[in-house]
């Protein structure tokens, strides 16, 4: 039987505070963005289009008139482009600025005029348009949620409790940003040293015009040979297409030292450090500014107040907010992470408290269960909407009458509307919790005895993971074998067996349950495990592991999908559900199938055929 929510003392409820009831909360939830506008799709579209542009776009042309030195403007544009996908996810308003800056830089390089002729340019512009539309849609609905929350709160407005007025955010982000920016500054200083050293030496050197006599490849480096002043000079080049054989190239010579005028120096490593440092420092700085701004805004003046119910997530300490008339906490409205605003006022534990024993908790601990967090009455301060900052006052726990004020440290996010709405993962609802399992009774309620067989096999997302790994495997083999024998072939010896196993498993894993046990189809063979030999079945690290006794080796399948992505898409991971159902069959014989699986239903391992296909692919790369 569920306990009643922990009441909030009346003196901590501001006069006129309205209850946020289910009808109003449902209207608020109905204003969530459409599925196409989720940041995941926008980020994926941007990243794919950027990678395509970098791979297929024109390479820089280095000339004596416009040498390929350090391009700080281009590096700054690259920093903005790298930050934009992150901002799309975390800070949509900044993302709009980044998208606009990217398009302006793109147009300055003549990209827009090429859009009708080059598909990768058009793809990037479409991705930018799609992302912009998604951000505008999200911001518009956040405004709608704000209006609905204000309507539910009514005219009541109260200042934030005194305990929360000194709570500040952003200092850690600012400190980290300053540290990383100093590293970027060191990289900039090193680049300038390299550039100044070249300029100083080139000023005293002799400039000559030579003829390109050969282009070679040596130890994964492109070498251009230039004949000038009766000598042949060898230079490493990052852009060999700028020096066609038989063409001319300007060089500067000072004794035994020589350099290409078009590619005067190589400071790529230091430039990469500047790029990484600027990207990371700006990301942390923007987070700090955003957190500080929201924190100050929350503590300025009076705020709307709503009476709600809250519960802490049993898995990751999220705070889930429920409507005030949902005493069982069945339909979450929103969630965020929070921290107590002040540690003052904690009472010292007396002897009577230390000796008191909660027999219910003792029994739960002895059974290996954690007591579920209580549902608590709370007053929510601030206007809740996607991306907002809020605070709440509630009792600390059921053993203490103390009321604490907690402030959000992550932005408010709405729970998913509809039957699949996400909620806090309690011990009886821990779908997806890594090291916890649902009670057998809960699983058995969804299963009924069947006369046939039960089969769990690779689903759509698992096959997508397998196909992605197969592309990685094929591309890696091409890259390492295309240039002939090399030490890089050692990577194939190390990585190819693992990749082949992972690809075969993700594409065709299968587990069939019959009356006598499980038929487990992995990458290399089909194994039979009797019910009596099984000791446990669990999902871990995107795989399913069947643990057996000492007389039999354990059986593990991995990967069986991508649980993280399925949770982000608000779905229960298929492999997690499969492991739970297998565990229920193991523990409750009444749920097991009544038939024996024929050979055609036991599955077939595809690892050996995949090895043959990989060998043919490797031979084709070497011979062509």
Output the CA torsion 13→18→24→25 (10° steps). -10
Q: Could you tell me which residue, 148 or 435, shows the higher pLDDT?
A: 148
Is pLDDT above 50 for 479?
A: yes
Q: 536-587, pLDDT tens digit by residue?
A: 888 887 889 898 876 678 888 989 888 888 877 767 788 888 888 888 888 8
Closest listed residue to residue 450, CA positions, set 537, 530, 531, 513:
513
Q: What pLDDT band is residue 438 in, cutting at 50, 70 and 90?
A: low
Phi and psi, residue 170, nearest 5°:
110, -20
Q: 82-98, pLDDT tens digit by residue?
A: 999 999 988 899 999 99
Residue 215, strand partner residues: 224
Is pLDDT above 60 for 349?
A: no
**pLDDT at 219 (0 to 100):** 67
Helices and strands in the chain, H and E counts: 16, 21
Beta strands in 157-286 (DSSP E): 157-159, 206-218, 221-228, 231-237, 248-254, 257-260
**pLDDT at 145 (0 to 100):** 92
Report yes or no: 79 and 278 within 8 Å, Cβ to Cβ.
Answer: yes
Report yes or no: 506 and 465 within 8 Å, Cβ to Cβ.
Answer: yes
If 0-12 CB within 10 Å is exposed, 13-18 middle and 19+ buried, where does residue 11 land? Answer: exposed
Is pLDDT above 70 for 362?
A: no
Q: Tell me the C-alpha distance between 522 and 511, whole Å.
A: 9
Task: Label residue 291 left, alpha or beta by phi (over 0 means left) and psi (-120 to 50 means alpha).
Answer: alpha
Q: Tell me the C-alpha distance between 515 and 451, whole Å.
A: 10
**pLDDT at 449 (0 to 100):** 55
Q: 17-74, pLDDT tens digit by residue?
A: 999 999 999 999 888 888 888 888 899 999 998 888 887 777 777 777 788 878 888 8
Q: 223-240, pLDDT tens digit by residue?
A: 888 888 778 888 888 787
Closest listed residue to residue 5, CA positions, set 389, 462, 522, 397:
397
**pLDDT at 277 (0 to 100):** 92
Q: What strands lie across the sheet with 221-228, from one edge to the other?
A: 231-237, 221-228, 206-218, 248-254, 257-260
Mean pLDDT of all residues in 468-495: 77
Is pLDDT above 60 for 363?
A: no
- The label of the residue with tokens 């997302």 reads 461
Report yes or no: 574 and 464 within 8 Å, Cβ to Cβ.
Answer: no
Is pLDDT above 50 for 263?
A: yes
- The label of the residue with tokens 């590293």 reads 183
Is pLDDT above 70 for 418?
A: no
566-569 contacts, C-beta under 8 A, 24 or more apart: 566/461, 567/432, 568/40, 569/40
Output the pTM of the full model.
Answer: 0.64
Output the CA torsion 271→277→279→285 (10° steps). -150
Q: What pLDDT band is residue 440 in, cutting at 50, 70 and 90?
A: low
Q: Average per-residue pLDDT in the chain?
A: 80
Q: 158-216, pLDDT tens digit by residue?
A: 888 887 777 777 778 888 889 999 999 999 999 999 888 888 888 888 888 888 888 88
Do the bridges between strand 555-557 and strand 18-19 make them parallel or antiparallel, or are there none, so unpaired?
unpaired
Q: Tell me the C-alpha distance between 24 and 13, whole Å.
A: 20
Report yes or no: 124 and 49 within 8 Å, Cβ to Cβ.
Answer: yes
Q: 365-414, pLDDT tens digit by residue?
A: 433 445 667 889 999 998 999 888 898 998 877 766 788 888 888 888 89
Domains of the chain: 10-17+299-347+362-414 (no CATH), 35-155 (no CATH), 192-268 (2.40.50), 440-623 (no CATH)
**pLDDT at 364 (0 to 100):** 44
Q: 597-621, pLDDT tens digit by residue?
A: 888 787 888 888 888 888 888 888 7
C-alpha angle 31/32/37, rounded to 5°? 130
Q: What pLDDT band is residue 274 in, cutting at 50, 70 and 90?
A: very high
> How far apart, in Å, are the Cα atoms of 379 and each of 25, 238, 468?
15, 62, 48
Is pLDDT above 60 for 430?
A: no
**Gyration radius of the chain over CA positions:** 31
SS3 453: coil
The fraction of the chain above a pLDDT of 70, given in percent, is 84
DSSP string, 328-380: T--SEEEEEEEEES--TTPPPPPHHHHH---HHHHHHHHTT-PPPPPPEEEEE
């Amino acid at each position: 039987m569920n306990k009643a929510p922990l009441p909030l003392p009346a003196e901590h409820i501001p006069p006129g505070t309205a209850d946020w009831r289910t009808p109003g909360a449902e209207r608020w939830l109905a204003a969530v963005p459409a599925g196409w506008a989720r940041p995941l799709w926008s980020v994926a579209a941007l990243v794919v289009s950027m990678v395509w542009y970098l791979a297929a776009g024109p390479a820089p042309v280095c000339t004596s008139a416009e040498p390929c030195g350090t391009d700080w403007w281009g590096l700054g544009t690259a920093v903005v482009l790298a930050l934009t996908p992150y901002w799309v996810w975390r800070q949509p308003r900044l993302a709009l600025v980044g998208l606009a800056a990217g398009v302006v830089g793109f147009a300055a390089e003549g990209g827009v005029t090429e859009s009708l002729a080059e598909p990768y340019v058009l793809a990037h512009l479409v991705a930018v348009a799609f992302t912009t539309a998604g951000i505008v849609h999200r911001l518009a609905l956040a405004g709608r949620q704000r209006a609905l929350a204000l309507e539910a709160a009514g005219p009541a407005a109260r200042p934030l409790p005194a305990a929360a007025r000194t709570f500040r955010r952003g200092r850690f982000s600012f400190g980290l940003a300053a540290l990383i920016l100093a590293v970027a500054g060191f990289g900039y200083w090193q680049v300038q040293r390299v550039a100044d050293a070249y300029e100083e030496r080139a000023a005293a050197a002799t400039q000559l015009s030579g003829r390109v006599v050969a282009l070679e490849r040596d130890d994964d480096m492109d070498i251009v040979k230039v004949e000038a002043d009766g000598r042949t000079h060898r230079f490493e080049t990052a852009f060999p297409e700028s020096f066609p054989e038989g063409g001319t190239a300007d060089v500067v010579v000072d004794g035994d030292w020589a350099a290409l005028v078009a590619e005067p120096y190589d400071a790529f490593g230091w430039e990469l450090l500047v790029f990484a440092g600027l990207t990371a420092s700006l990301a942390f700085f923007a987070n700090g500014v955003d957190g500080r701004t929201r924190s100050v805004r929350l503590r300025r003046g009076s705020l709307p107040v709503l009476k709600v119910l809250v519960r802490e997530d049993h898995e990751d300490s999220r705070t889930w907010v429920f409507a005030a008339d949902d005493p069982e906490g069945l339909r979450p409205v929103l969630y965020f992470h929070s921290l107590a605003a002040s540690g003052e006022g904690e009472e010292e534990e007396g002897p009577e408290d230390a000796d008191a024993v909660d027999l219910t908790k003792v029994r739960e601990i002895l059974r290996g269960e954690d007591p579920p967090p209580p549902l608590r009455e709370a007053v929510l301060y601030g206007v809740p909407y996607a991306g907002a900052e809020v605070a709440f006052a509630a009792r600390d726990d059921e053993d203490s009458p103390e009321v604490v004020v907690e402030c959000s440290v992550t932005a408010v996010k709405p729970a998913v509307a509809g039957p699949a709405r996400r909620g806090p993962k309690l011990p009886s609802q821990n779908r997806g919790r890594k090291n916890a399992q649902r009670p057998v009774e809960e699983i058995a309620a969804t299963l009924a005895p069947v006369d046939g067989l039960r089969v769990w096999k690779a689903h759509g997302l698992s096959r997508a993971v397998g196909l992605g790994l197969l592309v990685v495997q094929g591309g890696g083999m091409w890259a390492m074998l295309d240039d002939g024998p090399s030490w890089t072939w050692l990577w194939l010896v190390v990585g190819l067996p693992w990749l082949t196993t992972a690809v075969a498993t993700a594409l065709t894993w299968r587990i069939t349950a019959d009356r006598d046990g499980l038929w487990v189809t992995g990458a290399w063979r089909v194994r039979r495990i009797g019910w009596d030999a099984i000791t446990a079945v669990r999902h871990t690290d995107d795989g399913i592991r069947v643990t057996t006794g000492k007389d039999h080796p354990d059986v593990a399948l991995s990967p069986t999908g991508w649980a993280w992505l399925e949770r982000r898409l608000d779905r229960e991971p298929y492999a997690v559900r499969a492991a739970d159902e297998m565990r229920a069959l193991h523990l409750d014989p009444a749920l097991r199938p009544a038939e024996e699986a024929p050979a055609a239903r036991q599955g077939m391992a595809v690892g050996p055929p995949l090895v043959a296909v990989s060998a043919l692919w490797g031979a084709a790369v070497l011979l062509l």
